[in-house]
Amino acid sequence: MSDLASPRGPAGPRSVPPGGEAIDFVQLLTPDGARKRPAEYPLDVDADTLRGFYRDLVLLRRFDTEATALQRHGELGLWAPLLGQEAAQIGAGRALAPQDFAFPTFREHGLTWCRGVDPAQVLALFRGASLGGWDPAVHNLHLYSIVIGTQVLHAAGYAMGIQRDGHVGTGDPARDTAVLACFGDGATSQGDVNEAFVFASVFNLPVVFFCQNNQFAISEPNQRQSRIPLYRRASGFGFPGVRVDGNDVLAVYAVTRDALDRARRGEGPTFIEAYTYRMGAHTTSDDPSRYRPTGELEHWQQLDPIDRLVEYLLLTQTGDERYFAEIAAEADALGVRVREACRSIPNPLPESMFDHVHVEPHAQVDADRAWFRAYQSSFETAGGAA
C-alpha cells in the first residue's frame, strides 16, 4: 500500500493507532510505573509532591466526570471533558511559578484547578450564568478562549508586555516571569497560532507554547493535519521543540518547568508537544464513536495517566491502599460539593451584562444600563397578569 505514503497526495488516512508505533518522547514514568531518568530532564520530587500529583489527578478527573454528568442532568449547557489529559494539564499547571501567567483553552480544567479557581466558577460559564467565571488578574489565568487558537496570540502579546516591563532575565526568581500558552493539535493549523510563533521567535519572548496533542481536532485525526510531528515545526520558526509523554505527569512537569525557566532567564520560547489522548468526547455535543477507530480507546486506556502513578507510588511505598481510599473519599466529597455548587449558581440579573464592558465607568454604558433597567421594569407594571 505504498500509495498511502506517496509524497504528492494528501496526507494519508491513519493506518496505525497513535501510540501503536514507537513514539519518541521524553518519558520519566512508563505505563508500568517504572521510573526513567533522562539526563536532560533531571527531576527529584519528594513523597509529598508525588502524592500531591496523585491527589490532583484523581480530584481533577472526578471534577471532570461530575461536570459531564451535570450536563446530562440538564444542569449545564455544554461541557468539554478532559478525560485522559489530566497528567498533561497538572504537570504543566504545577510547573508554573506564582507570578507566571497562563492562557487556557476551554478544556484546561486542570489549569484552573492548579491556579486555585473554584470548580463552581468554571461551571458558571458552562451553565450560561457567567460570561467568564473568574478574575484573570487574581489567578494569573486568562479566561477560557472558545475560538480556537486566539489565546496564543494574546499570550505572545502578554509576553511582550512582560519583556518590556523588564521582568525577564533579572535573575530574581520572584520577579522573572514566563507565559504559558495552551492550545491543542488542531490549533496548530490556525493562522493566529503561527503568527504567535513568529512574534515569539523574532522578539525572543518569554513564552512556552504548550500544545496538548490529544490526537483529534474534533473529529479530524492528527495524522491528517501534519506530515511531521508537531514539535518539529518549532525548528522552522527558530526555537526548540520537544515532545513529551502527555500521560506522564512527571515528564510533563519536568519538561514544562525547564521551558518556563528558560523563558524567565530570557532565552526565548519553547514549543512543547504533550502527546496524549482525549478519551472522552470533544464536547458533550459530540459523538466520538463516529470517527474513532475501533480499539484505539482501549489502547490508550492501557496508557492511563493515573494508573502508572498508582503503580509508582506502590513501588516506591509512597502511597498505599489506605491513602488511595482517603483520596477516593475526598473525590466523592468533591463530587457532591460540585453538584450542589452547580445547582446553586445564581442566575445573573440581565443587566449584569453591562458590568464588564469597560474597566472604568463609561457614560454610554451607564446610559444603556439605565435604559435597559427602565425597559425591564416597564414589563412588571404593565404585564403582571398576562
Q: Which stretch binds other proteins (CB under 8 A): 52-60, 69-77, 84-92, 234-242?
A: 69-77
Question: Which distant-in-sequence residues (6+ apart) come within 8 Å of 67 by Cβ?
Answer: 76, 79, 81, 109, 119, 122, 123, 126, 338, 342
Note if 362 is an active site residue. no
**Is residue 286 part of the contact set for other proteins (CB under 8 A)?**
yes
CB of 344 to other proteins, least distance (A): 5
Of 291-350, binders to other proteins (CB under 8 A) are 294, 332-337, 339-341, 343-350
The answer to whether the CB of 56 falls within 8 A of the CB of 113 is yes
Note if 278 is an active site residue. yes
Note if 291 is an active site residue. yes
Distance CA 140, CA 116 (A): 10
Distance CA 302, CA 215 (A): 16
Catalytic residue among 73, 291, 356, 362: 291
Nearest CA-CA partner of 312 in 28, 23, 19, 87: 28
Distance CA 358, CA 365 (A): 8
Residue from 8, 37, 290, 322 binding other proteins (CB under 8 A) = 290
Distance CA 164, CA 141 (A): 20
Nearest CA-CA partner of 221 in 45, 377, 20: 20
Q: Which is nearer to other proteins, 47 or 370 (CB)?
A: 370
Q: Which is nearer to other proteins, 134 or 210 (CB)?
A: 134
Long-range CB contact pairs, 163-172, < 8 A, 24+? 163/203, 163/204, 163/205, 163/206, 167/99, 168/206, 168/263, 168/264, 168/265, 168/266, 169/264, 169/265, 169/266
Distance CA 101, CA 26 (A): 25
CB of 99 to other proteins, least distance (A): 24
CB of 360 to other proteins, least distance (A): 18
Q: What is the DSSP letter of 26?
A: B
**Is residue 78 part of the contact set for other proteins (CB under 8 A)?**
yes
Torsion of CA 368, 369, 374, 377, to 10 degrees: 140
Q: Which stretch binds other proteins (CB under 8 A): 89-97, 259-267, 287-295, 316-324?
A: 287-295
Q: Which is nearer to other proteins, 49 or 283 (CB)?
A: 283
Catalytic residue among 278, 292, 308, 312: 278
Draw the binding track, 107-136, toward other proteins (x: CB under 8 A; -: no contact): -----------x-xx--x--xx-x--xx--
The answer to whether the CB of 50 falls within 8 A of the CB of 59 is no
CB of 234 to other proteins, least distance (A): 35
In terms of phi and psi (left: phi > 0; alpha: psi -120 to 50; beta: otherwise), the region of 373 is: alpha
Q: Which is nearer to other proteins, 35 or 356 (CB)?
A: 356
Residue from 112, 201, 222, 284 binding other proteins (CB under 8 A) = 284
**Is residue 152 part of the contact set for other proteins (CB under 8 A)?**
no
| Residues at the contact surface with other proteins, assessed by CB under 8 A | 66, 69, 71-78, 118, 120-121, 124, 127-128, 130, 133-134, 284-287, 289-290, 294, 332-337, 339-341, 343-350, 352, 355, 376-377, 379-380, 383, 386
* Catalytic sites, residue numbers: 278, 282, 291
